[in-house]
Chains A and B, each alone.
Chain A
Amino acid sequence: MRGQVVAIGLVIVAGVSVYVTMTSVSNTLQRTLNLYYREYAFADAFASVRRAPEPAAERLRRLPGVAELETRVAAIVNLEIEGFTDPVSGRIVSVPEGAQPRMNRLFIREGRLVEPGREAEVVLNETFAEAHRLRPGDELGAVIAGRRRTLTVVGIALSPEFLYQVQPGSLFPDPERFGVLWMGRSALETAYGMAGAFNELAFTLAPGAYGRDVLERVDRVLAPYGGRGAYLRDDQISHSLISEELNQLESMALLLPSIVLGVAAFLLNIVVSRLITQQRDQIGILKAFGYSDSTVALHYLKLVLVVAVSGAAVGTGLGAWMGSAMAELYLEYFHFPYLAYRLDPGVVFAAVALAGGAAVVGAALAARRALKLPPAEAMRPAPPASYRATVLERIGLQRLVDTPTRIVLRNIERQWLKSGLSVLGIAGACAILVMGMFWQDAFDHILHVQFKIAQREDLTVTFTEPTSAAATSELRSLPGVQHAEPFRNFAVRLRNAHRSYDAAIEGLAPDPYLRRVIDSDLNPISIPEGGLVLSKNLADILEVGPGEEIIVEVMEGRRYERNVQVVAIAEQFLGVGAYMALDEANRLAGEGDAVSGTLLMVDPRYEEQLIEALRERPRVASITSRERTMASYTETTAEMLLVFTFVLSLFAGVIALGVIYNSIRITLSERDRELASMRVLGFTRGEVAYVLLGEMAVLVALSIPVGLALGAFLSMLSAASLQTEMYRIPVVLGRGTFALAAAVVLISSVLSALLVRRRLNRLDLIGVLKTRE
């Protein structure tokens, strides 16, 4: 039984280690995050405005529900780093000279804060500094308010506000091309003409204050100054992305181990059932001697508990090791100032309880049957198993199957529950694999749709503020530009009854060639006149469909509301989108014939030169490259996905092997007599193996389609549960995923078959003839 116990032990180890790893990492991250947020005073809410005078801040501070409030000046700038030719942009945020801000404080990893009177000093966010190997004392160029400046790095820092540093409009961090910098308040005020004014603020909520109400009050105060809408921490991009990551981890921490431990319970059940059948007479004798049912049951429970507890112990150890390694990975990924991995005793306790529980349930079901037998009956050999013709034969197809095949089919049908659970167990392994690889498929699909079908521009040039449409023609005439298309976007709040969402309306050329809006069949649609096209997820959030009207609150400049009809729904997996024809968007924004930026298709030979030329232009706020956005997306997701898929494949392999190997071993043990008899009658080893392995082959053959379907279902479930405003996850499963999942199951089967084949060859032909079962 050693091989079987080891196989079951491994399944338990797999289940417990996934549970311990994910739960402990999730707890550690949550704890670290809370501590970090508290110690570094992460604000509860944020707002941005075009330009508000400092006295307005006083009014805001007096608003009910606002506890503490801090203003600042922030801007997006183009950066130049020596030896790096790609466009780099940065978000410069002001900090008080010589002091920490009161909110969103900086953790200084190296160097110091900005000192008063030193206008060229900046502190860099660590990820950005690392990406370019910048250290205190190094210099970098920046175009600030149209003027080229040389900045000196004085410190490297981390902030709870920029755990994820994501460029506005992008969804993925790209530390080489986008970074956060902190600069002295007065230097920024001077550069942007913001003396005695601010354009951003952060605040905390008074205890018991209702966030949404406070936001509304803040918005009302800021409206005359070009308020762009206040938002809570939950909508802050870094925080929402990190929360999403934690949610994913948490849901995986529950789903995966449940499947794995369920399989372990089933395996223990079949092994204990078999053991009890074999020891039937011994149970009878013990009971005849006066041992109680519970004493006998305890004996078997002890046995499975030894397996479960040892499995849980090894799994916990492995989980703690993997957990600390994974925490290390997260520490690097998120750039926490510190991360103390801790394995809570509660997690260990839960792991042991889960494994033990699964084992006890599995064994108890098996033992119950044996204990019901009166001693005298238990001591007699079990009656021969009853069989009957299978459904296949009863409907008259018996001619199709030869005698050995009938043995196979009847055995499967007689133990339909066990067969069914085996199929389910193997299918579970297969499904876990499909689910693991589904993410890769989904991300590939998102990438394809977003960056091959919808977005085809090479460069996106954003202007510092809405500019005359002539700017696009101007860019079109630059050398290397093959095609140029204007776009106009502005912040809005979309409302439908009590539902509202802060988004940006993007005005696009009538029949865009570069930035296209696509329908659910992935065909580009031209934007109809007379209304808005909403991305599917935005339409879902607002609960509107085509033909219905929503209220658009324009959040820039003079604020006002308009009723606008939703005319179509667009497919979009990344982010939310609201699209309109360019001229209509301009009419809605009320600023005449303006563009916010231009999309360019570029001859690659001229790209570098073109970027250089664009950077020179004072009105160009940022230049982003589609190629780079795609690459950064792939980089950020690929590594995590690879680790994830690898771990899952390993576990799925263990489960498949555990179930298949155990099932064959049990079948061999149940039928060794029958198989040995066949060998005696002159059947060859191969012919006997057919009867044994044929049964498994049928189960495996059944389990693969079930597993693939189950995997698709679980993928759908996890896609739905992890869907956020940021992502809509398409359920796309590649043929390669199915093929690989099936291959892992088949390889596990072949491996199990080879392991058992040796035993089959050593069948004791004489022994079985002298005994009765």
Chain B
Amino acid sequence: MKAQPIEAVFETRGLTKVYHMGEVQVHALRGIDLDLYHGELVVLLGASGSGKSTLVNILGGLDTATDGRVLYRGTDLTRAGERELTQYRRECVGFVFQFYNLIPSLTALENVALVTDLAARPISPLEALQLVGLGERVHHFPSQLSGGEQQRVAIARAIAKSPQVLLCDEPTGALDSETGIIVLEALDRVNRELGTTTVIITHNVVQGEIAERVIHLKDGRISEIARNERRSRPSGLTW
């Protein structure tokens, strides 16, 4: 087992988010206190509406909190403006989404290059694609790739700029289990080889086994934080 990471990448205190949907107020987060550490792989588990996506969106600078604080390496994200958040996403965060969100008019390689063009210390797009096992299909357009392949391009795109954190919102949600495992393997490998702090959202309990910590959310609150004694390899999972 590797040593306990010390440095906290994210610190949230009393994080609250209230949505106003017409006349109704939705309390998506009700005071989250959480620290995420450098290099760890965390799985966020919870039912629909438990607040996992909201939490990740705020961590990723896509959404702002109603109350409470989020510190990213000591910088208060809740005080950042539109411009700073864009800069933060550009430099520090890699995203992977359920529906891949690739640019259909760009090839796999170009989708990755789109991001590396912006980054300060990128790894080469080809290398990133090789890391997710797509070295052979770099010149294919999204419409020519399967769902799993598209998701792996998305992962390559997320990691190619060497982000500090990788935020994945249901990366296997649209995939069958076999493809899902391939995708998880890619994420696991990136985390191990590059040491990127990785947060994976899922409602698939089994996937929690690949994490160092599994954080359960319920009704906008953390209901449980479980630490795995041993991280499982994704290839060993079945669901």
Residues of A within 8 A of B (CB): 383-388, 402-404, 406-407, 410-411, 414, 673-674, 677-685, 765-766, 768-772
Give the shortest distance, in Å, between A85 (CB) and chain B (any CB): 73
For B169, give the chain A residue with the smallest CB separation. Answer: A769
Beta-carbon contact of A387 and B104 below 8 Å? yes
Known: A386-B141, A386-B143. A678 touches B104 (CB 8 A): no
B8 contacts A by Cβ under 8 Å: no
Query: How long is the Cα–Cα vector from A571 to B114 in the complex, in angstroms?
Result: 62
Residues of B contacting A: mostly? mixed
Query: How long is the Cα–Cα vector from A425 to B86 in the complex, in angstroms?
Result: 37
Known: A384-B143, A387-B143. A406 touches B90 (CB 8 A): no
Name the 3 nearest CB pairs between A and B, nearest first. Answer: A682-B90, A677-B101, A410-B105
Give the shortest distance, in Å, between A671 (CB) and chain B (any CB): 9
B180 contacts A by Cβ under 8 Å: no
Give the shortest distance, in Å, between B144 (CB) and chain A (any CB): 8
18 residue pairs bridging A and B, Cβ less than 8 Å apart: A385-B105, A386-B143, A387-B104, A387-B105, A387-B143, A403-B114, A403-B117, A404-B114, A407-B106, A410-B105, A414-B105, A677-B102, A680-B89, A680-B101, A681-B118, A684-B83, A684-B86, A766-B62
B95 contacts A by Cβ under 8 Å: yes
For A682, give the chain B residue with the smallest CB separation. Answer: B90
Beta-carbon contact of A766 and B117 below 8 Å? no
Known: A387-B141, A387-B143, A388-B141. A769 touches B86 (CB 8 A): no
Beta-carbon contact of A770 and B98 below 8 Å? yes
Chain B residues with CB below 8 A from A679, complex form: 86
Chain B residues with CB below 8 A from A384, complex form: 104, 142-143
Chain A residues with CB below 8 A from B90, complex form: 681-684
User: For chain B residues 68-115, which have a beta carbon within 8 Å of chain A?
Assistant: 83, 86-87, 89-91, 93, 95, 97-99, 101-106, 110, 113-115
Query: How long is the Cα–Cα vector from A769 to B105 in the complex, in angstroms?
Result: 18
For B95, give the chain A residue with the smallest CB separation. Answer: A680
For A383, give the chain B residue with the smallest CB separation. Answer: B143
Beta-carbon contact of B101 and A766 below 8 Å? no
Chain A residues with CB below 8 A from B91, complex form: 682
B63 contacts A by Cβ under 8 Å: yes
Give the shortest distance, in Å, between B63 (CB) and chain A (any CB): 6
B124 contacts A by Cβ under 8 Å: no
Chain B residues with CB below 8 A from A402, complex form: 117
Chain B residues with CB below 8 A from A677, complex form: 97, 101-103
Query: How long is the Cα–Cα vector from A411 to B60 in the complex, in angstroms?
Result: 29
Most buried by B among A674, A681, A772: A681
Give the shortest distance, in Å, between A267 (CB) and chain B (any CB): 24
Beta-carbon contact of B113 and A682 below 8 Å? no
Query: How long is the Cα–Cα vector from A684 to B89 in the complex, in angstroms?
Result: 10
Beta-carbon contact of B105 and A406 below 8 Å? yes
Beta-carbon contact of B103 and A674 below 8 Å? yes
Most buried by B among A406, A679, A771: A406
Query: How long is the Cα–Cα vector from A268 to B60 in the complex, in angstroms?
Result: 40
Chain A residues with CB below 8 A from B95, complex form: 680-681
Chain B residues with CB below 8 A from A678, complex form: 103, 114
Give the shortest distance, in Å, between A254 (CB) and chain B (any CB): 41
Beta-carbon contact of A769 and B99 below 8 Å? yes
Known: A387-B143, A404-B114, A681-B95. A766 touches B63 (CB 8 A): yes
Query: How long is the Cα–Cα vector from A387 to B114 in the complex, in angstroms?
Result: 16
B57 contacts A by Cβ under 8 Å: yes
B191 contacts A by Cβ under 8 Å: no
B53 contacts A by Cβ under 8 Å: yes
Give the shortest distance, in Å, between A603 (CB) and chain B (any CB): 74
For B92, give the chain A residue with the smallest CB separation. Answer: A682
Chain A residues with CB below 8 A from B110, complex form: 403, 406
Give the shortest distance, in Å, between A759 (CB) and chain B (any CB): 16
Query: How long is the Cα–Cα vector from A771 to B98 in the complex, in angstroms?
Result: 9
Give the shortest distance, in Å, between B117 (CB) and chain A (any CB): 6
Chain A residues with CB below 8 A from B101, complex form: 673-674, 677, 680, 768-769
For A761, give the chain B residue with the smallest CB separation. Answer: B82
Beta-carbon contact of B106 and A406 below 8 Å? yes
Query: How long is the Cα–Cα vector from A772 to B83 in the complex, in angstroms?
Result: 27
B174 contacts A by Cβ under 8 Å: yes
Contact residue among B87, B93, B99 (Cβ-Cβ distance under 8 Å from A772): B99
Beta-carbon contact of A407 and B118 below 8 Å? no
Chain B residues with CB below 8 A from A680, complex form: 60, 62, 89, 95, 101
Known: A384-B143, A406-B110, A772-B174. A411 touches B86 (CB 8 A): no
Give the shortest distance, in Å, between A462 (CB) and chain B (any CB): 75
Query: How long is the Cα–Cα vector from A356 to B110 in the complex, in angstroms?
Result: 45
Give the shortest distance, in Å, between A411 (CB) and chain B (any CB): 6
Beta-carbon contact of A682 and B118 below 8 Å? yes
Chain A residues with CB below 8 A from B93, complex form: 682
Chain A residues with CB below 8 A from B118, complex form: 681-683
Query: How long is the Cα–Cα vector from A384 to B93 in the complex, in angstroms?
Result: 26
For B93, give the chain A residue with the smallest CB separation. Answer: A682
Beta-carbon contact of A769 and B104 below 8 Å? no
Give the shortest distance, in Å, between A386 (CB) and chain B (any CB): 5
Beta-carbon contact of A403 and B106 below 8 Å? yes
Chain A residues with CB below 8 A from B157, complex form: 681
- List 9 additional A-B contacts (Cβ < 8 Å) besides A387-B141, A673-B101: A384-B142, A386-B144, A680-B62, A680-B95, A681-B90, A683-B118, A766-B53, A766-B62, A772-B99
Chain B residues with CB below 8 A from A681, complex form: 89-90, 95, 114-115, 118, 157
Residues 139-170 of chain B, each 1 if its beta carbon lies under 8 Å from chain A, else 0:
00111100000000000010000000000010
For B111, give the chain A residue with the smallest CB separation. Answer: A403
Chain A residues with CB below 8 A from B86, complex form: 679, 682-685
Query: How long is the Cα–Cα vector from A377 to B60 in the complex, in angstroms?
Result: 36
Most buried by A among B53, B95, B105, B106: B105
Beta-carbon contact of A769 and B143 below 8 Å? no
Query: How long is the Cα–Cα vector from A678 to B104 in the complex, in angstroms?
Result: 12
Give the shortest distance, in Å, between A702 (CB) and chain B (any CB): 19
Beta-carbon contact of B53 and A770 below 8 Å? yes
Known: A403-B114, A682-B118, A683-B118. A674 touches B104 (CB 8 A): yes
Beta-carbon contact of B113 and A403 below 8 Å? yes
Chain B residues with CB below 8 A from A765, complex form: 62
Give the shortest distance, in Å, between B161 (CB) and chain A (any CB): 8
Give the shortest distance, in Å, between A313 (CB) and chain B (any CB): 35
Query: How long is the Cα–Cα vector from A411 to B103 in the complex, in angstroms?
Result: 11
